Structure 1
């Protein structure tokens, strides 16, 4: 047997041996599925509930059944009811999705109930589908957060149950509003066999009905080949039961009455009606199987009502087989349906693009939610940044398990935030406030984790521990510690596996400050005015009018560097603006028009290339509507529908302009009107432009909702209707204005909204004009937003929305956010990047690095007040630290480093370039895993898993599906090489590899087992 196979076999044996009880023999999975009947249409009845993790009510209000005047729902009663009903008939099935709710329920159950539920899982009667913490949105979520919420959901399921039957095999995305290719790719990497969803564009759906293509093989990655292929099925009727067949406390449909002596006897009529429905739907299927969802939102609060009626429906429909009936009804699951379809051996069409944008009718494009609630979207992005910092620090400082509770809090809050009615901004206002509160509290919990870790890493023997504060409000130039302390230490933790630099900006008092680096040397600083509109923002609790700026250079990979800041006795008068209309450094020059006071050109000094460019803030007026017909649809939380598709400048006159130039940063402040302002800036040595925008309160005194955009135009560019957006922050997809790759699109109804796409991190255009040298312009965003290229040579990104009408898609209130008694003010940042891909072949690499280093995994700033002198601080505390022990290539990302099971670790490394991004950096690369950090060494057991870390990679076997007109290729995930050197791992473009690292003192291994494992790990013995 090969060494690594032996190693993993021993791992599996030892973990089982160490368990409190032996793993019982399970009959779950495909082996437990009902057997379809040949020659009949097999109807797979899917008993399910869709439990939103917050929407019209908060998470807890849904779980406990509170605020039933809004919605009469209590999730705890759903699970109670199902668990009571399933054992009454072994043929009954049920699927459950939202691990967040199930964990909440599980924690309140006694041992007897838990054993009863585990038996249901092992028999296949109760199956967990998808298995994430929540059913995530696919448009505005970042891949790192998607992977995290799945991984945490999987881990909690594994912790709850002593059986492999809880490992999900199916993606169940029945309610998100459009579907991302990257999400399908992630699910393939998690070893899933198929993906089911409900919402796809109504024109696309009708086309697929006609061609029998509701089911297909989705080629989910341009980089992973057949290993990314995902069988994908779109439901006929969303996720609802057939009309007239809903049996629950919230339904009013006629029950099936089989008492022959009752005047209300209706079996024949009800069965006839159901058969008629199936016959119509089966005409669109390629196999003799059809999936019928028997449930909807928060169904099965009274499960007996459902099951008693479904029992009768199955019985009386199947009895007709004796008389030539062609239907075979059975309780089933999506997994069992998929297995039956797979076994039919059918060939399928394929698809390479995604399912955005989604429209439910000609006038209803669900593209507004790409931007809805922009401040919540920004808060989520910062939450992910901080979560990665906390997880890494927990590992590097070797925090023990009793310190993990605060870490779990942020994991779970972030998992909830990925829900398709959370980060999307499509929830009621009080629910949005609850999401924000949960996230803020969890970030404070995580700060305690980070503080514990930093004290272990910084405090020298005999010195006192200190506090490490996070300045969570620097987005509005507010930080209590930096504003109030006379002396303080700034500790910058870099979560990247490469050295990086950044410019620090902190609000301070109106005095001069000096900053010393980790060696005690003075470094350059600059004082800048905080823009007047920011100083006056509602809710800003700060009197600071200036920011201190300094450059933190060469921050160590996976480590920190400390800077000491001290206020001097010299006052800092307000910086005085000049009348200059040009800001420049040694690599870039930015010029504004003398008359219009707007951006007019950007010059790349090194390439001697000038781009004629203009930038403007404009808005669309939102359509009012009563929603009584498709053409009367209002623009709302979900729907974007602009009046006459016309953009309106926020100001008809030139903005008020102020220019501030300095050695570290130069910037131009613009006030466009009383509710829109911006700052255009460049930093020393940096050749991109940063645009900081502030929008709000958006006025509604004219009784008109408004949707504000940033519009950038490149003069003379020929883009041929093409532009490019990222998919969940990973692979880049080409978009073509007024075109859909798989059906004929009619843009005449909504030419703007119908061309909007989600931007998780970036949107770009490329110049195809003669002699353009493949010029490219990119906008990088600090949060998910919507955008497009409505005219050639332009990019527009929607920043903020304030609306006065509901769009009748369920939320039941207009998107009119109020904060501090006024309309919501949002402040954000975009990076404008100009390049020539022929002259600078690494421009795509630079974009991806900027996305990651500046917007997703930026260094995290901690502030510590102190009375110590620089010398005293250096004597008592470490000012420089790196957790990285081996150099990591520049195109590699340490995606995950977190504590796992006792003293173990979960590690993910990724190649973050696509195969055609760069002629050199897109090649396969080698990465050191063994010895990457001190805690990963030769004495550890390391096993590779699938992406979700809930199965050894070598054990995963995926179902494979045939594609019309193509030769078969293996759709299995790449198998680990047993002879691979763990100090020199190979990564292919866009590949993510996941490892569980188990330490010597693992509590999950018995001592004899560990000795054997250790021998195998060190000596690589072949047995």
Structure 2
């Protein structure tokens, strides 16, 4: 006889085998309202179609008051038959004699008592009928029951994306919805990782600041209606507020930890350092009060740079400064090469408006330059740099403008190192070349927006927080508009472009880097024409990619995607764009047998390859209609200042690289970890004196001669409440992903923790 079970029990009840079920739940308590409920039916085969709505609407709800035989609409026998039929239908296509029905949805459990009363009755009458056995269960009990049968199981390596619940309703819009919140969650995740490491180095406090509040806020933000962007606006505000509160508490811990480590250089417990380090969470919009200090009369800005990776790291830092007479020294007192770049007006406007909107005060003064300089930091350690006013100043970037008449040559090349980009006379990107790998490729980068369907017409489905349903695409042309501005210097080149009144772009090529960095400032997206818009950028090449591209799975494995195709079932795609969009948490790439084009992102976005040789990323969405999936309001984010509200402006980056075939994985994995775990910057003031006499200018928590293998990442280093330490490492590569780095790796924990006892 097949069995069905549902809920919180410790033992599977098997009726008809000498046991009597004298209690409704097999002696187990009823689950609480927030726990999933499962109904499991026993048979030999598994099913893959969805019965939740059928069970909820047709069986459970009508049982509330219709089990009295004296009632005219008594329906117990009918509902039991329906349930048994559904269970057997599923069991007939299921391996083993156990099946699962998940009960309820996120809209239903407000009325938990009503739900459980109805399910109690269903379980009671189904079991009384005797054809199947139903009981409350849990995911672990269900899994144990499946596992105990010793059945062989197929390995599934793909997923069900993109999901749709009707032909014009693909749930691919939420991959990008609320891009600012998505970025905030990503930024705080990296900060949390670094903060827990620093907490470990100085010892977890029992009474002072901890990282717990930030961890709680980040955990809450992983809810399926949080980081996804499918919540109401006031709820999104609450998630952001909780992250901010958590950050402020973790910030105190980080400041204390860095002060202690820089003053003692040891791992001894410390709670009150004399040096106060300040951090700049709004550095991305050029707001950093400590760097705006007056550096005259012998004062210097101390920049402490912490690396949370298990590898030595070299990067280029950019700090906003007030003066053009800047000099940068390293911890040994040596002057290092630096470069000044004027801050764009678009960045300054973003800073002025958003600082006042979010902090309630206007910045006292605006920095005029970024100072860029190289930094080198040991694994799990920090380095210190000093910015001051000096006679020898940082190199000021040379500035030129490209226009159709050609104030420069008709074809402009930027890049001081191995990587070079070429622009045509109209200011459009036209070629990528890497002198080391000998890769050359012609490509374009463009913007476009999709008009959001408003729900009018035969199908009322609108584009909204969940659903991406375009009703047309509008290319954004840049020809004849503001000509690009080129900034050149010894460390990096920048190309500034005002794409249109609400899109500003900066393309950077670093002398010592082998990838392209593109920064975008987008918004407010105009909706004066009463059309919602969904903005995408696209990279267009001549690569023959045969409908195939690859996107990451939760930032780890990459999954092969084929346009308009699913490997396990035949699909008809009614929405050729939305029906081929996928979530991109780390990156996306295409290949043509000779080279790979990879793009990595700084937050989760939606993206695709809609045509061969093309990659597109959706960067921002502003819509005027609700899509009917529960948000009950349009995705129209605004920032209000002085009683005037404008659409949300976002700032972000994506990164591009073209490699010979088979070599792209190394960059995607290594640089991907740098994106997840950015350098943590903290600032202090040095007023004369010798910093080295009272401070340690460099530190590493690992053996100074050791670093983790290139294919191993440090995911967690945390001291727990009981004093034990949680260490989580990950091998970054899939089998066969890289000819060398997919091989097994070993880690010497004694060198990772040279001053700790490993039990």
TM-score, length-normalised on structure 1?
Answer: 0.65
3-state SS in 1 of match to 2:258: helix
Equivalent position to 2:334, from 521, 531, 536? 521
Residue aligning to 1:391: 196
- Contact 2:439 2:658 survives alignment (8 Å): no
Equivalent position to 2:520, from 672, 679, 693? 693
Change (3 A) 1:851 1:624: same
Structural mapping, 1:181-260, within 5 Å: 214=47, 236-237=51-52, 241-243=56-58, 245-246=60-61, 253=62, 255-256=64-65
3-state SS in 2 of match to 1:916: coil
- Contact 2:319 2:372 survives alignment (8 Å): no
Q: Residue 30 of structure 1: CA displacement? A: 9.8
Residue aligning to 1:622: 452
3-state SS in 1 of match to 2:668: helix
| Cα separation, 2, equivalents of 1:918 and 1:655 | 44
Equivalent position to 1:502, from 315, 329, 349? 315
Task: Name the stretch that deviates more: 584-593 or 674-683.
Answer: 584-593
Change (3 A) 1:275 1:848: same
Equivalent position to 1:434, from 238, 248, 271? 238
Change (3 A) 1:521 1:722: same
3-state SS in 1 of match to 2:325: strand
- Contact 1:483 1:508 survives alignment (8 Å): yes
| Cα separation, 1, equivalents of 2:57 and 2:335 | 73
Equivalent position to 2:609, from 768, 789, 805? 789
Equivalent position to 1:412, from 203, 216, 222? 216
Residue aligning to 1:482: 291
3-state SS in 2 of match to 1:874: helix
| Cα separation, 2, equivalents of 1:475 and 1:299 | 41
Structural mapping, 1:586-985, within 5 Å: 586-595=417-426, 597-625=427-455, 631-644=459-472, 646-649=473-476, 651=478, 653-714=480-541, 716-747=542-573, 749-768=574-593, 774-820=594-640, 821-837=645-661, 841=663, 843-853=664-674, 855-869=675-689, 871=690, 873-885=691-703, 886-937=706-757, 940-941=758-759
Change (3 A) 1:89 1:852: closer
3-state SS in 2 of match to 1:621: strand
Structural mapping, 1:232-631, within 5 Å: 236-237=51-52, 241-243=56-58, 245-246=60-61, 253=62, 255-256=64-65, 264=71, 267=74, 269-285=75-91, 286=94, 289-297=98-106, 305-321=114-130, 326-342=131-147, 351-403=156-208, 406-460=210-264, 465-486=274-295, 487-537=300-350, 538-540=353-355, 541-542=362-363, 543-567=365-389, 577-579=399-401, 580=408, 581-595=412-426, 597-625=427-455, 631=459
Q: Residue 471 of structure 1: CA displacement? A: 0.9
| Cα separation, 2, equivalents of 1:889 and 1:307 | 52
Q: Residue 518 of structure 1: CA displacement? A: 0.4
Aligned length: 713
Root-mean-square deviation (CA, aligned residues, Å) is: 3.2
- Contact 1:258 1:265 survives alignment (8 Å): no
| Cα separation, 2, equivalents of 1:88 and 1:288 | 21
| Cα separation, 2, equivalents of 1:491 and 1:453 | 12
- Contact 2:397 2:488 survives alignment (8 Å): no
- Contact 1:588 1:602 survives alignment (8 Å): yes
- Contact 1:397 1:454 survives alignment (8 Å): no
3-state SS in 2 of match to 1:832: strand
Change (3 A) 1:742 1:653: farther
Give a deviation string over 1:352-372, Cα, whole Å, max 9, x none: 311111111111100111111
| Cα separation, 1, equivalents of 2:668 and 2:67 | 66
| Cα separation, 2, equivalents of 1:584 and 1:414 | 39
| Cα separation, 1, equivalents of 2:114 and 2:579 | 42
| Cα separation, 1, equivalents of 2:139 and 2:10 | 13
| Cα separation, 1, equivalents of 2:315 and 2:242 | 29
TM-score, length-normalised on structure 2?
Answer: 0.87
3-state SS in 1 of match to 2:65: coil
Change (3 A) 1:255 1:393: same
- Contact 1:803 1:815 survives alignment (8 Å): yes
Q: Residue 317 of structure 1: CA displacement? A: 4.0
| Cα separation, 2, equivalents of 1:710 and 1:867 | 47
3-state SS in 2 of match to 1:368: coil
Give a deviation string over 1:452-474, Cα, whole Å, max 9, x none: 21122111499961221111111
- Contact 1:675 1:696 survives alignment (8 Å): yes
Q: Residue 609 of structure 1: CA displacement? A: 3.3
| Cα separation, 2, equivalents of 1:564 and 1:787 | 41
- Contact 1:527 1:546 survives alignment (8 Å): no
Q: List alignment gaps of at least 5 residues for structure 2.
A: 1-6, 356-361, 402-407
Give a deviation string over 1:177-230, Cα, whole Å, max 9, x none: xxxxxxxxxxxxxxxxxx99xxxxxxxxxxxxxx97535xxxxxxxxxxxxxxx
| Cα separation, 2, equivalents of 1:925 and 1:314 | 51
Structural mapping, 1:125-136, within 5 Å: none
| Cα separation, 2, equivalents of 1:512 and 1:766 | 46
| Cα separation, 1, equivalents of 2:620 and 2:696 | 43
Q: Residue 858 of structure 1: CA displacement? A: 1.5
Q: Residue 392 of structure 1: CA displacement? A: 0.5
| Cα separation, 1, equivalents of 2:503 and 2:177 | 18
Q: Residue 516 of structure 1: CA displacement? A: 1.0
Structural mapping, 1:1-150, within 5 Å: 32-37=10-15, 91=27, 93-95=29-31
| Cα separation, 2, equivalents of 1:318 and 1:502 | 65
- Contact 2:45 2:97 survives alignment (8 Å): no
| Cα separation, 2, equivalents of 1:678 and 1:449 | 36
Q: Residue 844 of structure 1: CA displacement? A: 1.4
3-state SS in 2 of match to 1:639: coil
Task: Name the stretch that deviates more: 550-559 or 719-728.
Answer: 550-559
Give a deviation string over 1:804-846, Cα, whole Å, max 9, x none: 11100000111100013210001111111011036xx4x3112
- Contact 2:484 2:497 survives alignment (8 Å): yes
Q: List alignment gaps of at least 5 residues for structure 1.
A: 1-28, 45-86, 99-127, 130-171, 175-194, 197-210, 216-233, 247-252, 769-773, 942-1023
- Contact 2:324 2:369 survives alignment (8 Å): no
| Cα separation, 2, equivalents of 1:240 and 1:571 | 73
Report which of the two has the higher share of helix: 1
| Cα separation, 2, equivalents of 1:817 and 1:518 | 44
Change (3 A) 1:828 1:31: closer
Q: Residue 307 of structure 1: CA displacement? A: 4.5
